[in-house]
Structure 1
Amino acid sequence: MSDSTPFEMRLVHLDLKGAPPKVSYLSKVFPLFRALGANGLLIEYEDMFPYEGPLRLLRARFSYSPAEVKEILHLAGLHQLEVVPLVQTFGHMEFVLKHGAFAHLREVAAFPNTLNPHEPESLALVGAMIDQVLQQHPGARRLHIGCDEVYYLGEGEASRQWLQQEQNSKAKLCLSHVRAVASHVLARHPHVTPLAWDDMLRDMPEDQLTASGVPQLVEPVLWDYAADLDVHGKVLLMQKYRQCGFRRLWAASAFKGATGPSQALTPVEHHLRNHERWLQVAAGGPVGSLQGIVLTGWQRRLHRGRQTESGEHSRGFRPGNSWSCKVSPAPPGLPSGGATVLSGVLSGALRSEGAGSFPGSDILSLVTHFSLHLRSSVDALLERNRYVTGWFSSYHRSRKLIHPIMVQHIRPEALSLLAQWSALLQQLEAALQLAFYPDAVEEWLEENVHPSMRRLQGLLQDLDEAAPPRPPPSGPGRDSCQDP
């Protein structure tokens, strides 16, 4: 595959706050990432990082061990993938602030998403997190400090009092915290460049951005996952950032997890259009103005949100002989290989169930089959089968009433359907368990499989309870109608 692309760096985002892959699975997909054109990883550890000391309580039940983090870095190095760790330091702090030990550091007491920037302990907390992560990433050249979607900023009591002072604003409050975090990184780790999401910066006045000193400290990552991304608007935003003093800019598209909090299957065409728009943005700005692109793959919208398109890391990187035909030609001024490389790394077109032999292709096939057919097949039996709707409705089921003849029309089909899905479920569980930890497997099955299976099992249980017992056979040589 050609390496011709407008982006020097092409980072695949691993969002570990939902269905984090086992290291053994990562060992299989890292070579694929590299083969498809990626040269880096943005690893958002969240609670999968093996924090120590007072931060140990942040660890998830199946968090990576220090040895596993070391192995991830080793595997990435084998395949020339630069690792950029991501540590949330402002918004999206639920995995930290949900704990009682840190709840007093919330911006708004009721909500664990945003850190209170006025508390000295807040900076000490994120500083300790950063130091521990970088200690286990000794060769890191970059660190992403998050800082996106800082909801309810300025609504805490300390912030309200601060905002009453003349010349204070939410923008100034936000910039002061970003500056403090970035300054910590550069003071303690001078060879590490901080990156930050740009959504909190977009609407800030140029003079405030310029005067804040933040443009000399961080590299903003401009993210937009819309299929109809405003290309001209993004080019203007890049110009604004450069005028404010930001020397290097990044882009961020998405290959999964950006179209709905409960999306089951990846809408590939949506993401391909988004990727094509980003190529147009790159072509519309000054040459080299974008340092690289982050190909985000969100596993949850929020820490306690539902898994989105879980079990499908590989889906976004589906290789094959025909995926490139789904990619439009490169925009004028771009090398012809640019769109192919970018879209190949980002997402492949779903052509048919079960196609492909990449790591996780069995998961893709089974997840797709369950998502498309399980619920509809159970609905068809329970809601459109004439014997069920006509002779074993909810009224009859609740009272366990049914004509014995109708049992013979319903039970065999229900048993057959249950047997088919049970066999496939065994295959799916086995495949998921090879790639993911038990809690992620349990969650996905409970969200996407078990409700329909329980409906089917419930029908059979009601049939068993409603069907009258069969009369015992008459004894030999006896007429059951004859008086004794």
Structure 2
Amino acid sequence: MRIKSEEGEKKRPDRFVSRDLTEDGEMAGSSPFRMRLVHLDLKGAPPKVSYLSEILPLFRALGANGLLIEYEDMFPYEGALRLLRARHAYSPSEIREILRLATLNELEVIPLVQTFGHMEFVLKHEALAHLREVAPFPNTLNPHEEESLALVGAMIDQVMALHPKARWLHIGCDEVYYLGEGEASRRWLQQEQNTKAKLCLSHVQAVASHVLARHPATTPLLWDDMLRAVPEDQLTASGVPQLAQPVLWDYGADLDVHSKALLMEKYRKCGFSRLWAASAFKGATGASQALTPTEHHLRNHMQWLQVAASGPADALQGIVLTGWQRYDHFSVLCELLPVGIPSLAVCLQSLLHGGFAEDVKARVENFLGISSLDITGVTSAGAGSFPGSDILALVTQVSLHLHSSVDELLQRDRYVTGWFSPYHRRRKLIHPVMIQHIQPQALSLLARWSTLAGELEAAMQRVFYPDAVDEWLEENVRPSLQRLQQLLQDLGEAAGAQSPRAGPGPDPRQEP
């Protein structure tokens, strides 16, 4: 297979050429999922377009045939919506380039626009705060305001203007927290026969109807969690099953296969024409998770294969392999995209071949350039040679050893704990000979980690924008370096206080 570019034809790296393609370009294997979408969550550490140009061929080679792109504040909204843009939001030309790259790599793009819950990136702005369901909380949109529907309609129309060929549009609608708790909702719920379920469904119906009216060739998708507890008769009567397709999501390693099969049957009875699944390859095991537990995500995908096998062959249109970058707009970053690539490779290939046998493991190792893949640890053995593998290697070093090595010096080294404790540091007291034991260790450790931190910063700058690089380093690297720097500063001050020329130090028996 060849990639065409403006500079002429360039050959894919050998390991990116999938051995799983049939003559007509379809993926071989035993996957029950016709569509296999990699989710790009852009509300945290969004990759530069240059990195996407490197990694999308690998996605395709591993078995993906689509992307679910959750733009959030990275979309170049215009006009009254311009305030939604992040500082480094993609430009319209960059969006077009992403779509070109996706087409080049035979990846169908489905954009995702939040329209109900997870609206923090919109409702955090003072100019739009009056559209919150509950005034103090920016996560949920007030479904009673006409302006609310006009707002999400404008967002949808701008996104669709740059994605005119999209066959599906994901409208979010998950985790609509505090729904029914706003003043307008409380009044509405006091009326006979009004329920929170009815309130939720009416907004979903309005948003989906807008999509179909303005973009009739595009089918709305939505997360299914707000639908699970709705009685069948209410769901059927709402009209939503004729307008949209639900995406059943569960990221657990031990998801209940039988319950999922029953839920699928319920949705089919209610009239939904197609159902989708959603797993996770990263970003679902802890808000501040830095390294991806591949085994957890593999087990999640094995359970989804069982779910697919429990129903009719065409029950599920496809599966979204979610890769969350933040739990919500205000939370910290979880695993960076390059860190999750080995997990993604394992999960995609397992979906494609119906499991993770030795031959599938060998394929993954070949694709990633990893000599020996170990899925039982938090990350693979050896960083590999895929795009961004240097980030994986350095993040692994930081996550496994930086904090612990500094703790080892500050909390378990006998010279530090015995002769330069917090008590001594506050009073600038130290036996001069102890400086010779402590200072060289601290300087060596600081030099080692400062060098590695510089390498990681340079590697991340090639993939991410400056704010994401700064955030990750500030959360994960700089606090430990600052602890070492503070120790050395305290040593220097204590040494100065003990110098004969400095006069006698403070009486250690006297309180400061």
Give the whole-Å Cα distance in 2 for the aligned partners of 1:92 and 1:263: 20
Equivalent residue, structure 1, for 2:435: 407
Equivalent residue, structure 2, for 1:31: 57
Task: Supply the AA of the counterpart residue of 1:391.
Answer: W
Q: For 2:121, which of 71, 75, 95 is the aligned residue?
A: 95
Closer, same or farther: CA 67–276 of 1 in aligned 2, 3 Å:
same
Equivalent residue, structure 2, for 1:262: 288
Equivalent residue, structure 2, for 1:15: 41
Q: What is the Cα deviation at residue 341 of structure 1?
A: 9.6
Give the whole-Å Cα distance in 1 for the aligned partners of 2:274 and 2:298: 25
8 Å CA contact retained: 2:173, 2:226: yes
Q: How many residues are aligned here?
A: 467
Equivalent residue, structure 1, for 2:130: 104
What is the SS of the residue equivalent to 1:312?
Answer: helix
Equivalent residue, structure 1, for 2:149: 123
Task: Supply the AA of the counterpart residue of 1:400.
Answer: K
**Are positions 1:380 and 2:408 aligned together?**
yes
Q: What is the Cα deviation at residue 118 of structure 1?
A: 0.3
Task: Supply the AA of the counterpart residue of 1:38.
Answer: A
Equivalent residue, structure 2, for 1:282: 308
Q: What is the Cα deviation at residue 265 of structure 1?
A: 1.0
Identity %: 73
**Residue deviations 1:40-99 (CA, integer Å, cap 9, x gap):** 000000000000000000000110011100100000010000000000000000000000
Equivalent residue, structure 2, for 1:427: 455
Give the whole-Å Cα distance in 1 for the aligned partners of 2:449 and 2:281: 29
What is the SS of the residue equivalent to 2:338?
Answer: coil
Q: What is the Cα deviation at residue 354 of structure 1?
A: 3.8
Task: Supply the AA of the counterpart residue of 1:371.
Answer: S
Q: For 2:488, which of 448, 451, 460 is the aligned residue?
A: 460
**Residue deviations 1:249-281 (CA, integer Å, cap 9, x gap):** 000000001111111211111111100000000
Closer, same or farther: CA 342–195 of 1 in aligned 2, 3 Å:
farther
Give the whole-Å Cα distance in 1 for the aligned partners of 2:367 and 2:259: 25
Give the whole-Å Cα distance in 1 for the aligned partners of 2:37 and 2:381: 28
Give the whole-Å Cα distance in 2 for the aligned partners of 1:464 and 1:311: 41
Q: For 1:69, which of 71, 80, 95 is the aligned residue?
A: 95
**Are positions 1:235 and 2:251 aligned together?**
no
Give the whole-Å Cα distance in 2 for the aligned partners of 1:250 and 1:421: 45
Q: What is the Cα deviation at residue 353 of structure 1?
A: 4.9
**Residue deviations 1:271-325 (CA, integer Å, cap 9, x gap):** 11100000000000111100000000000001011111135355345659xx97x
Give the whole-Å Cα distance in 1 for the aligned partners of 2:408 and 2:83: 47
Give the whole-Å Cα distance in 2 for the aligned partners of 1:410 and 1:348: 37
Bigger Cα displacement from structure 2, 48-57 vs 306-315:
306-315
**Are positions 1:437 and 2:465 aligned together?**
yes
8 Å CA contact retained: 2:117, 2:174: yes
- Residue pairs, 1:188-207, within 5 angstroms: 188-207=214-233
Q: TM-score, normalised by structure 2?
A: 0.87
Equivalent residue, structure 2, for 1:218: 244
**Are positions 1:393 and 2:421 aligned together?**
yes
Give the whole-Å Cα distance in 2 for the aligned partners of 1:163 and 1:74: 47
Give the whole-Å Cα distance in 1 for the aligned partners of 2:232 and 2:359: 36
Gaps of 5+ in 2: 1-18, 21-26, 502-512
After superposition, the CA RMSD in angstroms is 2.6
Q: What is the Cα deviation at residue 359 of structure 1?
A: 0.4
Equivalent residue, structure 1, for 2:169: 143
Closer, same or farther: CA 339–123 of 1 in aligned 2, 3 Å:
farther
Equivalent residue, structure 2, for 1:448: 476
8 Å CA contact retained: 2:292, 2:340: no
Give the whole-Å Cα distance in 1 for the aligned partners of 2:167 and 2:316: 17
8 Å CA contact retained: 1:108, 1:152: yes
Q: TM-score, normalised by structure 1?
A: 0.92
Closer, same or farther: CA 239–343 of 1 in aligned 2, 3 Å:
farther
Q: For 1:173, which of 181, 185, 199 is the aligned residue?
A: 199
Closer, same or farther: CA 338–234 of 1 in aligned 2, 3 Å:
farther
What is the SS of the residue equivalent to 1:254?
Answer: strand
- Residue pairs, 1:155-166, within 5 angstroms: 155-166=181-192
Q: What is the Cα deviation at residue 327 of structure 1?
A: 9.4
What is the SS of the residue equivalent to 2:138?
Answer: strand
Closer, same or farther: CA 337–188 of 1 in aligned 2, 3 Å:
farther
Closer, same or farther: CA 328–10 of 1 in aligned 2, 3 Å:
closer
**Are positions 1:113 and 2:139 aligned together?**
yes
**Are positions 1:50 and 2:76 aligned together?**
yes
Q: What is the Cα deviation at residue 182 of structure 1?
A: 0.3
Gaps of 5+ in 1: 473-484
Task: Supply the AA of the counterpart residue of 1:270.
Answer: H
Bigger Cα displacement from structure 2, 460-469 vs 280-289:
460-469
Give the whole-Å Cα distance in 2 for the aligned partners of 1:175 and 1:218: 11
Task: Supply the AA of the counterpart residue of 1:273.
Answer: R
| Moved beyond 6 Å, runs of 4+ | 326-329, 334-348
Q: For 1:367, which of 395, 412, 431 is the aligned residue?
A: 395
What is the SS of the residue equivalent to 1:108?
Answer: coil
What is the SS of the residue equivalent to 1:107?
Answer: coil
Closer, same or farther: CA 427–404 of 1 in aligned 2, 3 Å:
same
Closer, same or farther: CA 108–434 of 1 in aligned 2, 3 Å:
same
Task: Supply the AA of the counterpart residue of 1:459.
Answer: L
Equivalent residue, structure 2, for 1:296: 322
Q: For 2:277, which of 251, 263, 286 is the aligned residue?
A: 251
8 Å CA contact retained: 1:210, 1:245: yes
Give the whole-Å Cα distance in 2 for the aligned partners of 1:339 and 1:373: 28
Give the whole-Å Cα distance in 1 for the aligned partners of 2:182 and 2:380: 51
